[in-house]
Amino acid sequence: METPRRLTTTEYAMLGLLASGESSGYDLARAADRSIRYMWAPSRSQIYKALPRLVALGLATSREVEQRGRPDKAVYRITRAGRATLRAWLEDDTEASQAGGTVFLLKLFLAGAAPPEAALRQLEAYRSRLEHRLDAFEGMEREPSDGQTVYDRIALAHGIAQARATLGWVESVRPQLEREARRRRRSATRG
């Protein structure tokens, strides 16, 4: 039961959903569809492949539940090692740039399973990536390439507007995450 250096995003997402409680593959697929679908949309086959791997790695356990009139089903539960692996991933703010904001949003959605400061670090790293992207786009706007078309300019204008709007969102949610981090720290010291 050796933990790999890196799980797939689907495997991390499944650990995050399992952190809420024991579930079957079917239940996890439904939970993903109701919650993380717009950030990360694993197919049912990805989910059903990920779960036995998590068990084999010692990050989850599985047990059979007998059902009347239907085949038995397997239900999964996150282990202590699974929680530690999930927490480490949620605290890692070095998201691959090619993943865009989808992994960031998934980590933010699952941030309750990590220390309270993890979401703030994720937000800061995301802000930094957005600022770099905006700087690059604004540089392209200031110094257009030879042969730039109207389509190039339109696409660039979209990128600039999107980066600016998202940076505004980052600033608007920072106080909420700071309040939540303070609340969680107070709860931890009382508990």
User: Taking residues 124-150, what's their average pLDDT?
Assistant: 93
Distance CA 7, CA 60 (A): 13
pLDDT at 96 over 80: no
- Is 4 a domain residue? no
- Is 128 a domain residue? yes
Domain count, the chain: 2
User: Taking residues 94-101, what's their average pLDDT?
Assistant: 62
Distance CA 91, CA 89 (A): 5
Over residues 9-33, the pLDDT tens digits come to: 999 999 999 999 999 999 999 988 8
- Domain harbouring 81, CATH code: 1.10.10.10
User: Taking residues 87-112, what's their average pLDDT?
Assistant: 82
CA 21 to chain centre: 18
- Is 108 a domain residue? no
Q: Report which of residues 69 and 59 the model is more confident about.
A: 59
Q: Is the CB of residue 91 less than 8 Å from the CB of residue 121?
A: yes
Residues 6+ apart with CB under 8 A from 173: 123
Task: Report residue 99's pLDDT band, with 50, 70 and 90 as the boundaries.
Answer: low
pTM comes to 0.85
Please tell me whether residues 29 and 89 are part of one structural domain. yes
Task: Report residue 124's pLDDT band, with 50, 70 and 90 as the boundaries.
Answer: very high
Burial (CB < 10 A; 0-12, 13-18, 19+), residue 161, is exposed
- Is 106 a domain residue? no
User: Taking residues 169-176, what's their average pLDDT?
Assistant: 96
Domain that holds residue 186: 115-190
